Protein backbone atom coordinates (compact mmCIF):
# COMPACT_ATOMS: atom_id res chain seq x y z
CA UNK A 1 0.00 0.00 0.00
CA UNK A 2 0.99 3.62 -0.49
CA UNK A 3 0.90 4.15 3.28
CA UNK A 4 3.81 1.69 3.48
CA UNK A 5 5.85 3.95 1.21
CA UNK A 6 5.03 6.87 3.46
CA UNK A 7 6.29 5.14 6.58
CA UNK A 8 9.58 4.37 4.92
CA UNK A 9 10.13 7.80 3.37
CA UNK A 10 12.60 10.32 4.74
CA UNK A 11 10.34 13.18 3.66
CA UNK A 12 8.09 12.93 6.69
CA UNK A 13 9.26 15.27 9.42
CA UNK A 14 8.17 16.89 12.62
CA UNK A 15 7.40 20.03 10.61
CA UNK A 16 5.10 18.22 8.22
CA UNK A 17 2.94 15.82 10.22
CA UNK A 18 -0.26 14.81 8.45
CA UNK A 19 -3.23 17.02 9.29
CA UNK A 20 -6.67 15.69 8.37
CA UNK A 21 -8.13 19.15 7.70
CA UNK A 22 -5.17 20.16 5.58
CA UNK A 23 -5.23 16.88 3.61
CA UNK A 24 -8.97 17.26 3.05
CA UNK A 25 -8.52 20.75 1.59
CA UNK A 26 -5.70 19.53 -0.62
CA UNK A 27 -7.85 16.66 -1.88
CA UNK A 28 -10.68 19.06 -2.61
CA UNK A 29 -8.34 21.31 -4.55
CA UNK A 30 -7.04 18.45 -6.67
CA UNK A 31 -10.42 16.73 -7.05
CA UNK A 32 -10.66 17.39 -10.78
CA UNK A 33 -7.63 15.24 -11.53
CA UNK A 34 -8.14 12.65 -8.79
CA UNK A 35 -11.75 12.03 -9.90
CA UNK A 36 -10.65 11.38 -13.47
CA UNK A 37 -7.96 8.94 -12.36
CA UNK A 38 -10.28 7.20 -9.89
CA UNK A 39 -12.87 6.72 -12.64
CA UNK A 40 -10.26 5.35 -15.02
CA UNK A 41 -8.74 2.85 -12.59
CA UNK A 42 -12.07 1.96 -10.99
CA UNK A 43 -13.72 0.65 -14.13
CA UNK A 44 -11.95 -2.65 -13.86
CA UNK A 45 -10.67 -4.57 -16.83
CA UNK A 46 -7.24 -5.47 -18.02
CA UNK A 47 -4.21 -3.26 -18.49
CA UNK A 48 -3.94 -2.60 -22.22
CA UNK A 49 -2.89 0.07 -24.72
CA UNK A 50 -6.29 1.77 -24.56
CA UNK A 51 -5.92 2.21 -20.80
CA UNK A 52 -2.45 3.68 -21.19
CA UNK A 53 -3.76 6.03 -23.88
CA UNK A 54 -6.56 7.29 -21.64
CA UNK A 55 -4.11 7.74 -18.79
CA UNK A 56 -1.80 9.70 -21.06
CA UNK A 57 -4.65 12.07 -21.97
CA UNK A 58 -5.59 12.62 -18.32
CA UNK A 59 -1.99 13.37 -17.31
CA UNK A 60 -1.46 15.84 -20.15
CA UNK A 61 -4.73 17.67 -19.43
CA UNK A 62 -3.71 17.74 -15.73
CA UNK A 63 -0.73 19.95 -16.71
CA UNK A 64 1.88 17.21 -16.35
CA UNK A 65 3.12 18.08 -19.84
CA UNK A 66 4.35 15.84 -22.64
CA UNK A 67 7.90 15.24 -21.38
CA UNK A 68 6.96 14.27 -17.83
CA UNK A 69 3.96 12.25 -19.03
CA UNK A 70 6.13 10.22 -21.39
CA UNK A 71 8.65 9.58 -18.61
CA UNK A 72 5.95 8.56 -16.12
CA UNK A 73 4.30 6.18 -18.58
CA UNK A 74 7.63 4.58 -19.48
CA UNK A 75 8.35 4.01 -15.79
CA UNK A 76 4.80 2.74 -15.25
CA UNK A 77 5.05 0.21 -18.08
CA UNK A 78 8.34 -1.00 -16.62
CA UNK A 79 6.76 -1.50 -13.19
CA UNK A 80 3.78 -3.30 -14.71
CA UNK A 81 6.09 -5.79 -16.40
CA UNK A 82 8.37 -6.12 -13.37
CA UNK A 83 5.51 -6.65 -10.90
CA UNK A 84 3.44 -8.69 -13.39
CA UNK A 85 0.40 -6.45 -12.95
CA UNK A 86 -2.64 -7.27 -15.08
CA UNK A 87 -5.65 -5.40 -13.67
CA UNK A 88 -6.47 -1.72 -14.21
CA UNK A 89 -7.09 -1.14 -10.51
CA UNK A 90 -3.48 -2.15 -9.77
CA UNK A 91 -2.20 0.77 -11.85
CA UNK A 92 -3.12 3.41 -9.28
CA UNK A 93 -0.62 2.10 -6.73
CA UNK A 94 2.03 1.66 -9.42
CA UNK A 95 1.45 5.23 -10.64
CA UNK A 96 1.79 6.47 -7.05
CA UNK A 97 5.19 4.80 -6.86
CA UNK A 98 6.26 6.40 -10.16
CA UNK A 99 5.13 9.83 -9.01
CA UNK A 100 6.91 9.42 -5.69
CA UNK A 101 10.15 8.61 -7.50
CA UNK A 102 9.73 11.79 -9.59
CA UNK A 103 8.54 14.20 -6.88
CA UNK A 104 10.40 13.01 -3.79
CA UNK A 105 13.65 14.87 -4.70
CA UNK A 106 11.66 18.14 -4.70
CA UNK A 107 10.44 17.68 -1.11
CA UNK A 108 13.19 19.62 0.65
CA UNK A 109 12.01 21.71 3.62
CA UNK A 110 13.23 25.24 4.19
CA UNK A 111 15.99 25.54 6.78
CA UNK A 112 16.31 29.13 7.95
CA UNK A 113 19.51 29.23 10.00
CA UNK A 114 20.43 32.57 11.63
CA UNK A 115 23.10 31.35 14.05
CA UNK A 116 26.41 30.85 12.26
CA UNK A 117 29.04 28.18 12.89
CA UNK A 118 31.16 30.71 14.79
CA UNK A 119 28.24 31.55 17.08
CA UNK A 120 27.54 34.95 15.50
CA UNK A 121 24.01 36.01 14.58
CA UNK A 122 23.16 36.95 11.01
CA UNK A 123 19.65 37.27 9.63
CA UNK A 124 18.59 34.62 7.13
CA UNK A 125 17.40 36.63 4.13
CA UNK A 126 14.65 35.24 1.91
CA UNK A 127 13.95 37.11 -1.32
CA UNK A 128 10.50 36.54 -2.80
CA UNK A 129 9.73 36.84 -6.50
CA UNK A 130 7.02 35.96 -8.99
CA UNK A 131 4.66 37.26 -11.63
CA UNK A 132 1.74 39.56 -10.86
CA UNK A 133 -1.12 37.85 -9.06
CA UNK A 134 0.70 34.66 -8.07
CA UNK A 135 -0.01 35.26 -4.37
CA UNK A 136 3.42 36.49 -3.39
CA UNK A 137 2.51 39.05 -0.72
CA UNK A 138 -0.07 36.73 0.82
CA UNK A 139 2.50 33.93 0.89
CA UNK A 140 4.91 36.21 2.76
CA UNK A 141 2.33 36.75 5.49
CA UNK A 142 1.70 33.01 5.82
CA UNK A 143 5.41 32.23 5.70
CA UNK A 144 6.04 34.74 8.50
CA UNK A 145 3.49 32.89 10.64
CA UNK A 146 5.09 29.53 9.82
CA UNK A 147 8.58 30.77 10.71
CA UNK A 148 7.33 32.23 13.98
CA UNK A 149 5.92 28.80 14.73
CA UNK A 150 9.48 27.49 14.35
CA UNK A 151 10.58 29.87 17.11
CA UNK A 152 12.18 32.39 14.73
CA UNK A 153 11.82 36.17 14.81
CA UNK A 154 10.82 37.75 11.49
CA UNK A 155 11.06 41.14 9.80
CA UNK A 156 9.25 42.03 6.56
CA UNK A 157 10.62 44.28 3.82
CA UNK A 158 7.99 45.97 1.64
CA UNK A 159 10.03 45.84 -1.55
CA UNK A 160 7.04 46.10 -3.89
CA UNK A 161 7.26 49.85 -4.37
CA UNK A 162 5.17 49.83 -7.54
CA UNK A 163 1.85 49.19 -5.81
CA UNK A 164 0.74 51.09 -2.73
CA UNK A 165 -1.79 48.31 -2.17
CA UNK A 166 1.00 45.75 -1.87
CA UNK A 167 2.71 47.82 0.82
CA UNK A 168 -0.58 48.20 2.69
CA UNK A 169 -1.29 44.49 2.35
CA UNK A 170 2.10 43.63 3.80
CA UNK A 171 1.56 46.08 6.67
CA UNK A 172 -1.71 44.28 7.43
CA UNK A 173 0.03 40.91 7.47
CA UNK A 174 2.67 42.42 9.75
CA UNK A 175 -0.02 43.54 12.19
CA UNK A 176 -1.70 40.12 12.12
CA UNK A 177 1.61 38.41 12.88
CA UNK A 178 2.92 41.14 15.21
CA UNK A 179 5.93 41.54 12.91
CA UNK A 180 7.77 44.77 12.03
CA UNK A 181 7.50 45.90 8.41
CA UNK A 182 10.18 48.14 6.87
CA UNK A 183 8.54 50.30 4.20
CA UNK A 184 8.87 53.62 2.39
CA UNK A 185 6.20 55.74 0.75
CA UNK A 186 8.32 55.81 -2.39
CA UNK A 187 11.82 54.92 -3.49
CA UNK A 188 13.24 51.80 -5.07
CA UNK A 189 12.92 48.25 -3.85
CA UNK A 190 16.65 47.75 -3.41
CA UNK A 191 16.88 50.65 -0.94
CA UNK A 192 13.94 49.39 1.12
CA UNK A 193 15.34 45.86 1.37
CA UNK A 194 18.85 47.16 2.11
CA UNK A 195 17.44 49.12 5.06
CA UNK A 196 15.48 46.08 6.21
CA UNK A 197 18.57 43.84 6.26
CA UNK A 198 20.50 46.43 8.24
CA UNK A 199 17.60 46.80 10.69
CA UNK A 200 17.47 43.02 11.13
CA UNK A 201 21.18 42.93 11.87
CA UNK A 202 20.87 45.67 14.48
CA UNK A 203 17.87 44.02 16.15
CA UNK A 204 19.21 40.45 15.87
CA UNK A 205 16.18 39.33 13.90
CA UNK A 206 16.39 35.76 12.62
CA UNK A 207 14.71 36.03 9.22
CA UNK A 208 14.09 38.83 6.72
CA UNK A 209 11.29 38.23 4.20
CA UNK A 210 11.83 40.61 1.29
CA UNK A 211 8.87 41.27 -0.99
CA UNK A 212 9.45 42.39 -4.58
CA UNK A 213 7.08 43.69 -7.21
CA UNK A 214 5.38 41.16 -9.43
CA UNK A 215 6.71 41.17 -12.97
CA UNK A 216 6.22 39.30 -16.19
CA UNK A 217 9.24 37.39 -17.41
CA UNK A 218 8.92 39.17 -20.77
CA UNK A 219 9.50 42.59 -19.15
CA UNK A 220 13.25 42.77 -19.66
CA UNK A 221 13.77 46.03 -17.76
CA UNK A 222 11.91 44.70 -14.72
CA UNK A 223 13.86 41.45 -14.78
CA UNK A 224 17.06 43.53 -14.82
CA UNK A 225 15.75 45.55 -11.89
CA UNK A 226 15.15 42.46 -9.77
CA UNK A 227 18.71 41.31 -10.51
CA UNK A 228 19.84 44.66 -9.08
CA UNK A 229 17.76 44.07 -5.96
CA UNK A 230 19.57 40.78 -5.40
CA UNK A 231 22.97 42.45 -5.86
CA UNK A 232 22.11 45.16 -3.34
CA UNK A 233 21.01 42.57 -0.78
CA UNK A 234 24.45 40.97 -1.13
CA UNK A 235 26.04 44.35 -0.43
CA UNK A 236 24.01 44.68 2.76
CA UNK A 237 24.97 41.17 3.87
CA UNK A 238 27.52 39.00 2.06
CA UNK A 239 26.12 35.62 0.93
CA UNK A 240 22.56 37.00 1.11
CA UNK A 241 19.93 36.37 -0.02
CA UNK A 242 20.24 32.89 1.40
CA UNK A 243 17.05 31.77 -0.29
CA UNK A 244 15.28 32.99 -3.44
CA UNK A 245 11.70 31.74 -3.42
CA UNK A 246 9.59 31.86 -6.56
CA UNK A 247 5.84 31.95 -5.95
CA UNK A 248 3.80 30.11 -8.59
CA UNK A 249 0.04 30.08 -9.10
CA UNK A 250 -0.88 26.40 -9.52
CA UNK A 251 -3.67 27.40 -11.91
CA UNK A 252 -1.31 28.74 -14.58
CA UNK A 253 -0.46 25.27 -15.84
CA UNK A 254 2.51 24.93 -18.15
CA UNK A 255 3.15 28.69 -17.92
CA UNK A 256 4.49 27.97 -14.44
CA UNK A 257 7.32 25.97 -16.01
CA UNK A 258 8.37 28.89 -18.21
CA UNK A 259 8.30 31.15 -15.14
CA UNK A 260 10.57 28.75 -13.27
CA UNK A 261 13.08 28.75 -16.12
CA UNK A 262 13.08 32.54 -16.58
CA UNK A 263 13.33 33.50 -12.90
CA UNK A 264 15.93 30.83 -12.25
CA UNK A 265 18.06 32.13 -15.09
CA UNK A 266 17.81 35.68 -13.73
CA UNK A 267 18.14 35.06 -9.98
CA UNK A 268 19.18 31.48 -9.26
CA UNK A 269 15.92 30.34 -7.66
CA UNK A 270 16.50 28.04 -4.67
CA UNK A 271 12.92 27.06 -3.88
CA UNK A 272 9.30 27.22 -5.02
CA UNK A 273 6.00 28.03 -3.34
CA UNK A 274 3.01 26.60 -5.19
CA UNK A 275 -0.15 28.55 -4.30
CA UNK A 276 -3.90 28.30 -4.91
CA UNK A 277 -4.14 24.54 -4.88
CA UNK A 278 -7.58 25.03 -3.31
CA UNK A 279 -9.01 26.44 -6.53
CA UNK A 280 -9.33 24.83 -9.93
CA UNK A 281 -5.73 23.65 -10.03
CA UNK A 282 -5.08 20.35 -11.77
CA UNK A 283 -1.82 19.82 -9.89
CA UNK A 284 0.25 18.13 -12.55
CA UNK A 285 2.56 21.05 -13.25
CA UNK A 286 4.68 20.03 -10.27
CA UNK A 287 5.57 16.85 -12.16
CA UNK A 288 6.45 18.89 -15.24
CA UNK A 289 8.80 21.03 -13.13
CA UNK A 290 10.32 17.96 -11.50
CA UNK A 291 11.18 16.52 -14.90
CA UNK A 292 12.16 19.60 -16.91
CA UNK A 293 13.61 22.04 -14.36
CA UNK A 294 13.77 20.50 -10.88
CA UNK A 295 13.89 23.02 -8.05
CA UNK A 296 12.87 22.18 -4.47
CA UNK A 297 9.23 22.87 -3.63
CA UNK A 298 9.45 24.41 -0.17
CA UNK A 299 5.74 25.04 0.42
CA UNK A 300 2.29 24.58 -1.07
CA UNK A 301 -0.79 26.64 -0.25
CA UNK A 302 -4.45 25.62 -0.20
CA UNK A 303 -6.29 28.63 1.19
CA UNK A 304 -6.29 32.20 2.46
CA UNK A 305 -5.83 31.48 6.16
CA UNK A 306 -2.62 32.15 8.08
CA UNK A 307 -2.00 28.41 8.50
CA UNK A 308 -2.78 27.44 4.91
CA UNK A 309 0.84 27.32 3.78
CA UNK A 310 2.57 24.05 4.60
CA UNK A 311 5.84 22.33 3.71
CA UNK A 312 5.56 20.19 0.59
CA UNK A 313 5.32 16.49 1.44
CA UNK A 314 5.40 14.40 -1.72
CA UNK A 315 3.39 11.50 -0.27
CA UNK A 316 0.53 13.74 0.88
CA UNK A 317 0.41 15.52 -2.46
CA UNK A 318 0.37 12.26 -4.43
CA UNK A 319 -2.29 10.78 -2.17
CA UNK A 320 -4.50 13.81 -2.81
CA UNK A 321 -3.80 13.76 -6.55
CA UNK A 322 -4.68 10.08 -6.88
CA UNK A 323 -7.43 9.90 -4.27
CA UNK A 324 -5.45 7.56 -2.00
CA UNK A 325 -5.33 7.40 1.77
CA UNK A 326 -2.41 9.50 2.99
Q: Distance between CA 22 and CA 252 in Å, rounded? A: 22
Residue 324 forms part of a structural domain:
no
Q: What is the pTM of this model?
A: 0.92
In this structure, the answer to whether residues 280 and 306 fall within a common structural domain is yes
Question: In this structure, what CATH number is given to the domain that contains residue 57?
Answer: 1.20.120.140
- The pLDDT of residue 18 is 54
Same domain, 99 and 137: no
* Same structural domain, 199 and 304: yes
In a 13 Å sphere around the CA of 279, the CA atoms on its Cβ side amount to: 15
Residue 101 lies in a domain: yes
Res 12: pLDDT? 41
Asked if residue 142 is part of any domain, the answer here is yes
In tens digits, the chain (326 residues) has pLDDT values of 455 354 444 444 434 455 778 888 889 889 989 999 999 999 888 999 999 999 999 999 999 999 999 999 999 999 999 999 999 999 999 999 999 999 999 999 999 988 787 778 899 999 999 998 898 989 999 999 999 999 999 999 998 887 777 888 889 989 988 999 999 876 788 999 999 999 999 999 999 999 998 888 877 888 898 999 999 999 999 999 999 999 999 888 889 999 999 999 999 999 999 998 886 778 899 999 999 999 999 999 988 778 889 999 999 999 999 988 76
- Same domain flag for 204 and 250: yes
**Same domain as 279, residue 148:** yes
CA 206 to chain centre: 22
102 with 216, same domain: the answer is no
Q: Taking the chain, what is the end-to-end CA distance rounded to the nearest angstrom?
A: 10
Full domain range(s) for residue 263: 124-312
**Quick one: pLDDT at residue 1?**
47
Those residues with Cβ within 8 angstroms of residue 293's Cβ, 6 or more apart along the chain or in another chain: 257, 260, 261, 264
188 located within any domain: yes
Three-class SS state of 315: helix
Task: Judge whether 234 lies within some domain.
Answer: yes
**Number of domains composing the chain:** 2
Amino acid sequence: MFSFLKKNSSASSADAKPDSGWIARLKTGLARTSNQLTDLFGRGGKIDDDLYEELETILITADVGMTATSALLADLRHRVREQRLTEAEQLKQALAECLLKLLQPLAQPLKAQSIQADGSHKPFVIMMCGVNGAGKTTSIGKLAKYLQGQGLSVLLAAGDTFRAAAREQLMTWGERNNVTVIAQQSGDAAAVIFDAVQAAQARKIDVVLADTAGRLTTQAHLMEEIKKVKRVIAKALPEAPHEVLLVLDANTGQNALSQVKAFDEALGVTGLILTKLDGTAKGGVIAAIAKAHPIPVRFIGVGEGLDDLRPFVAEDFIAALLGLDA
